[in-house]
Amino acid sequence: MIRKTCLALACASFGLASGAYAADSIKVGMMTTLSGPGAGLGIDIRDGFNLAVKHLGGKLGGVPAEVIVADDAQNPETAKQITERFIKRDKVDVATGVVFSNIMLAVGPAFFGSETFYISANAGPSQYAGAECNPYFFNVAWQNDNLHEAMGKHVQDKAYRKVVLLAPNYPAGKDALAGFKRFYKGEVAEEIYTKLGQLDYAAEIAQVRAAGADALYIFLPGGMGINFVKQYAQSGMTKKTPLFAPGFSGDEDVVKAVGPAMEGVFNTSHWYREMDNPANQRFVADFQKDFGRLPTLYASQGYDAALLIDAAVKAAGGKVADKAAFRKALETVKAPSTRGDYRFGNNHYPVQAYYLREVVKQADGSVSNRYVGKVMDGHADAYAKDCRM
Amino acid sequence: MISSNGSSRGTETPLIAGLPGPWIAIGMAVLLALYPLAMNTLGEDFYIGVGSRVLILALAASALNLALGYGGMISLGHAAFLGAGGYAVAILAKHGVVAAWIALPLAVGVAAAAALLIGAISLRTRGVYFIMITLAFAQLFYYLAISLPEFGGDDGLPLAARSLVPGLSLEGDLAFYYFVYFTAGLAFLLLYRLVASRFGRALVAIRENERRMAAIGYPVYRLKLMAFALSGGLAGLAGALLANLSMGVTPHTLTWHQSGILMVMVIIGGSGYFWGGLVGAAIFLILEETISGYTEHWNLVLGALLLFIVIVAPNGVMSLRERLRRLPQGTRVATIPACEEKA
Amino acid sequence: MLYLILEQALNGLQYGLMLFLLAAGLTLVFGIMDLINLAHGSLYMIGAFLTAAFFQALQSFFPALLLAILATAAIGVILERLLYRRLQGMNHLSQVLATFALILIANETIKIIFGAQPLMIGMPASLSGAVELVADELYYPAYRLLIIGVGLTVALGLYLLVNRTRVGMWMRAGASNPQMAAVMGVRIKPMFTFVFALGAALCALAGALLGPLLAVSVGMGESILIPAFEVIVIGGIGSMRGALVGALLVGMIDTVGRLVLTFGLKLVVASGTAATLGPTLASMMVSLLMVGVLFFRPQGLFPARG
């Protein structure tokens, strides 16, 4: 896969790190998770990004693009080493691709210290949105709390008044639930924290039933989410206590793993597949054609990251080496995107709309997400006020 | 069951062969001292950082080698000590203690104490039980680190700056490399003294025949425990240096996969050979760096390589010299140094 | 509250029996072939992926399950012939490393063949409902009852196989002294192959049965490997009875213990702290149990051999 990308984009092999500042090419370091349990997400980001580069004729901003792909294996140590390589040997102009926030936090300082632009196609840690915001960090996806906030608002608006919350027992889990509660003001019947990487959720499902709540919100990233949604859907509880989830727990990869039982699960996202804009139509159609699967929001984020880089390079007149000009371009350029309009806030995180999606049975009998409605418009994150930039 | 590997137990286990000659040691030291200068001249500063990583993991693997290769204790939980050292440095830094001469010894102390405690309980068991109980302890550390907000949970603890050494800034690649070089060099010297001493010989003898050593009056349990604690302490030192290199520590350092990788390094190099840890770490990291640049299926290559080594050269790269020497006589090489007495 | 605990006891039983399916194979292979197989979890993963593949082709659960069991057993036979037979004579360290290598190879191969996204195994429609065990108070998913039933049947079957059949006698003889058994006319090698295939089949059974409940994804083997190892270490390696007792113990502690711990702590300390402390302790409970057992009985609860 890597080699294919390399051939297509004529990526440099070992030791050919010269001429990084020549205006005739732009080097992108794509570090993402391609092996281990989280590989599906990284592969989607990479495929989305590469699809955009393909659509742009192998160029970004009219300049021939080299995409160097590396697998962080969801290991902060490995990621650290790749970062060093990107900066010191490959001398990339822009980096992107990290899926997980803990990896982002491990590699961020090295990118910022070397004044390498990092365009996050997923990880949106609160640190980099607030006090530790950085001129070289841009997030083209969403701040980690945003999807939870959107769902909190939806559940609040729909007048659910007794909610059970569920997350793994680690700080990110607590942050997620705090995000939900920022907009949900009703009663929290129960806050359940589970073991990280837990397999069986029968005990928690029984607790939800015993609590007699009228809605359940979960934050269970990765395999945990699939395990839970499978078991919850099969317990027949979705009818009694509807399940609300962040977009990534209701996305097409999860639907594919859970199957028809997933019908009726609500989730929030900044993007939905039916979005009516030319970039998105082309992305969705070609992604299915090229990869034989429905795109997830991760894939859309990878695609949007490439479109943003493209637009900014163009706006900066191809001069990526002029850091101030390139930053100005990234901040202000109106890049096309699969999600429609968005802009960056003062902390370089997007200010954008969030939507509600529901997993439904489609006309052809398959199960997938359908757009339900807009939950928030022009929403920024809660940390932007702490950012002095 | 009567141990079926009694007969196949490593006959050419390195005993004294596991000690380095002085000229090799000096040559190695000079080579490693010149390496970053060469890279610097070539303008490849990236490889200086890689060199620091190799030295640090070589130290970690050598620490494991003391327990595993010399002591015959198959620990699948050494990541716990690596992590203990790293977290000690990061937590101290969080509370404003950044002086290297305090942080590093404390990290070693914390890791050694953890190893002493874990060893005291684990060494009551043997064989597979020992492998599994060390693994279980490492899992306990992992869950503790990931659950507690004081430890930074999943995000781990970042380090704002490297440890302070008076009169020297460790922020540059070159300076940090030499800091690691001298620290690890001291550790290797200590390791050499240990292995060459009566203690080291007794340890190897216990590995070979624990009952006999007990019968002639050696305090077997105490000697093994001492070796295990020393091994843990040295792994803690490696952890402290690793945290400095990576500017932080994450729970990933504590996973059982990490323990497995350390073991893999020792085996690639040669368990029970003095340079086994260094050679193994270097080969592993260089291969990882090279191969993962070409394919995302690095794990497949690593798996195949590992299988090949276990089946074809179970005593690791360092044993090849003896194997070559023996080849004319057609001796078949047996397995890795025997490790445990079967219950 | 009583029914909640009762329901958790059923869940604990179900989880424990699934762990038993894995632990039984692990302990048989260790006891009889003297082999540590870290890649046991990979056979479980392979079983689950094959079930998913057959399910997608046939759209029917039970035939997919049968085919997957046969296919995984066949893979087991091939692995035994090609690799494990060589490993048998080697020491534990070589075995740990070689099977660690197999885990890496299996994960990567599965990813190449099936892709990185998790797969789906549909639950048989007839079993997707819940059974009313106590009127109005206790409903329990029919599918989980099926798992409990299968688990108990397999446990009984293994007991009979090991203790009441000629093959079982050979197995016991081979376990206590392979050379002697060979001299007495037991064909040791085919028996090893049989034992290994049986272990692989049990893995596939567990993988297939859990498939509708859990994510069928790369790396699923490791998440269940460690509990399975804890089971056989607690129970005593090589002992079938130990595997069963250990599995049930681990299953119960993990589900009921988690619940009781959280509720119990709530009575003692403020509820916010309890919600954090409970799961932290709960996730460590099984490891602590194992450490405790080994502290007092370094050979596990039911040592297989003196």
Nearest CB to A227: which of C120, C215, C255? C215
CB neighbour list of residue C66: distance below 8 Å, 6 or more residues apart? none
φ, ψ of residue B29 in degrees (nearest 5): -65, -45
Interface contact B36, partner A, CB < 8 A: no
User: How many CA atoms does the CB half-sphere of C41 hold within 13 Å?
Assistant: 23
Place of tokens 């000079």: B30
Most A-contacting residue of B252, B256, B302 (CB-CB within 10 A), to test interface: B252
Q: In this predicted structure, what is the pLDDT of residue C272? A: 62
Which tokens sit at C263? 């509720």
* 8 Å CB contact between A253 and C117: yes
From C38, C4, C5, C3, select the one nearest C22 (Cα to Cα).
C38
Residues 6 or more apart whose CB falls under 8 angstroms from that of B29 comprise B185
Residue A197, pLDDT score: 82
**Dihedral angle computed from the Cα positions of residues B221, B222, B228 and B233, in that order, rounded to the nearest 10 degrees:** 160
Supply the pLDDT for residue C180: 81
Residue C181, helix vs strand vs coil? helix
- Residue B3 identity (one-letter amino acid): S
Q: Residue B315: what pLDDT?
A: 76
- Residue pair C202/C228 in contact (Cβ under 8 Å)? The answer is no
- Tell me which long-range contacts C191-195 makes (C-beta under 8 A, separation of at least 24): C191/C32, C191/C167, C192/C32, C192/C33, C192/C80, C192/C85, C192/C88, C193/C77, C193/C80, C193/C81, C194/C167, C195/C28, C195/C29, C195/C32, C195/C33, C195/C171
B215 reaches A (C-beta below 8 A): no
Instruction: Report the gap between the CA of B155 and the closest CA in chain A (Å).
Output: 4
Residues of A in contact with C224 (CB under 8 A): 199
Are A193 and C111 inside 8 Å of each other by CB? no
* Pairwise CA distance, residues A53 & B5, whole Å: 58
User: C117, A227: Cβ pair inside 8 Å?
Assistant: no
Chains touching C (3+ CB pairs < 8 Å): A, B
How far apart, in Å, are the Cα atoms of B175 and each of A84, B33, B58, B249, B282? 16, 12, 19, 21, 20
CB A24 within 8 A of CB A42: no
The minimal CB distance from A170 to the residues B146, B250, B253 is found for B146
pLDDT for A5: 43
Separation CA C34–CA B127 (nearest Å): 11
* Nearest-CA distance C287 → chain B (Å): 5
Lookup: tokens for C175: 């376990």
Contact yes or no for C288 and B302 at CB 8 A: no
Contacts of B44 in chain A (CB under 8 A): 88-89
Tell whether C285 is within 8 A of chain B (Cβ). Answer: no
Q: Does C223 touch chain A (CB under 8 A)?
A: yes
Chains that touch A (3 or more CB pairs under 8 A): B, C
Count of residues making up chain C? 306
Here the tokens at position B9 are 């137990």
Contact C91, B9 (CB under 8 A): yes
CB contact under 8 A, B126 and C107: no
How far apart (Å, rounded) are the C-alpha atoms in residues A185 and C59?
45
- Taking the C-alpha atoms of residue C84 and residue B302, their distance in angstroms, rounded to an integer, is 19
Give the closest residue to B307 by CA, choosing from C105, C36, C33.
C105
Cβ–Cβ below 8 Å for A109 and B158: yes
Neighbours of chain B (3+ CB pairs under 8 A): A, C
Do the Cβ atoms of C130 and A261 come within 8 Å? no
pLDDT of residue B218: 94
A224 to chain C: closest CA residue: C215
C223 to chain B: closest CA residue = B256
Q: How far is C5 from chain A (nearest CA, A)?
A: 9
C177: closest chain B residue by CA: B1
Q: Which of chain B's residues have a Cβ under 8 Å away from the Cβ of C303?
A: 343
Q: What is the DSSP secondary structure assignment for residue A381, as one 8-state letter?
A: -
Neighbours of C305 (CB within 10 A): 15
Closest CA–CA distance from residue B16 to any residue of chain C (Å): 21
- Say how far apart CA C234 and CA C252 lie, in whole Å: 14
Mean pLDDT to the nearest integer, C166-181: 81
Classify residue A265 by burial, with Cβ atoms within 10 Å: 0-12, 13-18, 19+.
buried
Write the pLDDT tens digit of every residue in C193-239: 999 999 999 999 999 999 999 989 998 998 888 899 999 999 998 88
Q: Are strands A215-218 and A266-269 parallel, antiparallel or unpaired?
A: unpaired
In chain A, which residues have pLDDT < 70?
1-23
Rounded Cα gap, residues B288 and A4, in angstroms: 20
Contacts of A360 (CB under 8 A, 6+ apart): A263, A264, A367, A368, A369, A370
Nearest neighbour of A226 by CB, restricted to C7, C118, C282: C118
Q: What distance in Å separates the CA atoms of residue A177 and residue A171, rounded to the nearest whole number?
A: 10
Helical H runs in chain A? 2-9, 39-55, 76-84, 101-113, 126-129, 146-157, 171-183, 202-211, 223-234, 237-240, 252-258, 278-291, 297-315, 323-332
Distance from CA of A302 to the nearest CA of B (A): 18
Distance CA A162, CA A211 (A): 9
Neighbour-count burial for A304-321, b at 16+ CB within 10 Å, e otherwise: bbbbbbbbbbbbbebebe
Cβ of C92 within 8 Å of Cβ of B148? The answer is no
Q: Which residue has the higher pLDDT, A182 or C130?
A: A182
Supply the pLDDT for residue A241: 93
Token pair 């010297």: residue: B189
pLDDT tens, position by position, for chain B (343 residues)? Answer: 333 333 333 434 555 555 777 888 899 899 999 999 999 999 888 999 999 999 999 999 999 999 999 999 999 999 999 999 999 999 999 999 999 999 999 999 999 999 999 999 999 998 888 998 999 899 899 988 988 878 888 889 999 889 988 888 888 899 999 999 999 999 999 999 998 899 998 999 999 899 999 999 999 999 999 999 999 999 999 999 999 999 999 999 999 889 999 999 999 998 888 999 999 999 999 999 888 888 888 999 999 999 998 888 777 777 777 767 665 554 444 444 444 433 3
Judged by a CB distance cut-off of 8 A, whether residue B44 touches chain A is yes
**If you search the block for the tokens 């082309």, which residue do you land on?**
A282
Query: For residues B244 and C284, which has the higher predicted lDDT (pLDDT)?
Result: B244
What long-range pairs does B117-123 form, CB within 8 A, spacing at least 24? B118/B77, B118/B80, B118/B228, B118/B232, B119/B224, B119/B225, B119/B228, B119/B229, B119/B232, B120/B225, B121/C291, B121/C294, B121/C295, B122/B75, B122/B228, B122/C294, B123/B73, B123/B221, B123/B224, B123/B225, B123/B228
Q: Which residues of C touch B5 (CB under 8 A)?
A: 34, 89-91
Nearest CA in chain A to C143: A234
**pTM for this predicted structure:** 0.88
Compare all CA atoms of chain B with the CA of C292 and give the residue at the minimum distance: B121
pLDDT at A330: 96
C291 touches chain B (CB under 8 A): yes
C-chain CB neighbours of A257 within 8 Å are 117-120, 215-217
Measured over all CA atoms, what is the biggest interatomic distance in chain A, rounded to whole angstroms? 65
Give the pLDDT score at B325. 67
State residue A23's pLDDT score. 54
User: Which residues of A fall within a CB distance of 8 Å from B292?
Assistant: 70-71
Instruction: Specify the 3-state DSSP secondary structure of A224.
Output: helix
Question: How far is it, in rounded angstroms, from Cα B135 to Cα C230?
Answer: 10
**CB-based contact C143 A230, cutoff 8 Å:** no
**Residue C245: closest CA among C260, C235, C236:** C235
The residue of chain B with its CA nearest to that of A89 is B46
Task: Give the per-residue pLDDT at C254.
Answer: 85
Per the CB < 8 A criterion, the answer to whether C28 and C199 are in contact is yes
- Separation of alpha carbons C81 and C186, rounded Å: 18
Distance of CA C249 to the CA centre of its chain: 13
Among the partner-chain residues C34, C92, C303, the one whose CB lies closest to the CB of B131 is C92
**pLDDT confidence band for C177 (50 / 70 / 90):** confident
Give the dihedral sign, CA A351/A352/A357/A362. Answer: negative
Spatial separation of the C-alpha atoms in residues B197 and B129, rounded to whole Å: 29
Give dist(CA A348, CA A137) in Å, integer.
Answer: 7
Chain pair B-C, CB pairs under 8 angstroms: 161
Does residue C245 belong to the interface with chain B, where contact is any CB pair within 8 Å? no
Q: What does the DSSP assignment read for A283-349?
A: HHHHHHHHHSS---HHHHHHHHHHHHHHHHHHHTTT-TT-HHHHHHHHHH-----TT---EE-TTS-
B101 in C contact zone (CB under 8 Å): no
Q: For residue B200, give the nearest of B217, B232, B224 by alpha carbon.
A: B224
Strands B248-249 and B157-158: antiparallel
Is C168 part of the contact surface with chain A (CB cutoff 8 Å)? no
> What residues in C contact A231, CB-CB < 8 Å?
213
C212, C222 in Cβ contact below 8 A?
no
